[in-house]
Chains A and B, each alone.
Chain A
């Protein structure tokens, strides 16, 4: 029963995965925190550079999510 509930919660969470906050790291290791809207408003080139370089960390409700989960919604 407990496992079922956990599974249901995980499925629910996965369905609604997206992101509300992004932390970007530059070459010097400095970080910059952006809201989803701010990140989406960055030029595509910049977003893609961070995604390819793995220098963007995505968060949903304070929990870190993988970039692929973040991009689901």
Chain B
């Protein structure tokens, strides 16, 4: 084998190694972001659960059935429905952190939480801001399909409840049938920009990994150009 062929082969092998390391760096960075965000949602979901129980106990702790005072159904909803919404995504976050299913379940659960909080506050318009906050938190994943899951869940919830129980979602009994489209429109408005931000974030991560690879390649080139004596000395120092 000629020297130049050997050299081309060794450049190809070094290139392969550098590119593989860049891919690994990118994957590790992404995995870390996914796992960290899963962990963040564990605390957020549990916090929301406690907050909902507090809210139900404060706003409507009791109801009257004739002369009898009973615990209001909202309190039970906050405890049990809230618990059900929280349990599955929290379990997934702990058992399968970073998995695709985990973040989509979290996205759905977060939107169910918006729905429950809106219901518990009697459809207060201010509580609808929880939806926008949740979408912003979901964007931490830098994985835009998660935002689509969240959008579909919240749109479906508004549509269904708007028909079946409008007071629970809008605080009034006879909203226009298209009211859910107005809400969904604002959600789409923010989601478009969050998707752009997610894609940008991912691109930046990719560029960072590639920049690392380029610097590694330059250093490899300098090492190859240095004399054998220099390399041996450098290896001795490294050892």
Contacts and interface: CB of A to CB of B under 8 A. Distances in A.
B204 interface: no
Contact of A48 (B217, B222, B224): B217
A48 B19 contact: yes
Contacts of B19: 44-45, 48
B59 to A, nearest CB: 56
Contacts of A68: 215, 218, 222
B18 interface: yes
A48 B211 contact: no
Contacts of A67: 218, 221
Contact of A52 (B14, B22, B211): B14
Contacts of B215: 68, 71
Given A49-B12, A52-B15, A52-B18, A44 B210 contact: yes
Interface string B6-20: 001001101110110
Interface of B: 8, 11-12, 14-16, 18-19, 22, 210-211, 213-215, 217-218, 220-222, 224-225
9 contacts: A44-B210, A44-B213, A45-B19, A49-B12, A51-B214, A51-B220, A54-B221, A54-B224, A67-B218
* Top 9 A-B pairs, shortest CB-CB distance: A51-B217, A48-B217, A49-B15, A67-B218, A48-B15, A52-B217, A53-B11, A52-B220, A48-B18
